[in-house]
Amino acid sequence: MSILLINKSRFANDIKFSANRMTIFFEDGRELSVPLEWFPRLKKATLSQLKKWRFIGDGEGIHWEELDEDISIENLLK
């Protein structure tokens, strides 16, 4: 009997936005889509503002300087 081990990463490597959602792409190929409603500052932001993000901690978090918003990837996975 063999056992398949799946190595899950907590590190994001890209982000995309739609009208009401943020989709986070992980190093291991997974995707996580969350509603912008969860983050009032992001919900109120323009698409131009949303696109001005950067990863912090090698992909452990996301930061928007202009919006003064930080999101922990680990907390999204809980």
Q: What's the alpha-carbon Rg for the chain, to the nearest Å?
A: 14
Element at 14 (helix H, strand E) = strand 12-17
The residues near 39 (Cβ < 8 Å, ≥ 6 apart) are 22, 69, 71
Range scoring the smallest mean pLDDT among 7-11, 22-26, 62-66: 7-11
Ordered by where they begin, the domains of the chain are 12-77 (3.30.2020.40)
Tens-place pLDDT, residues 13-63 = 999 999 899 999 998 889 999 999 999 999 999 999 999 999 998 888 999
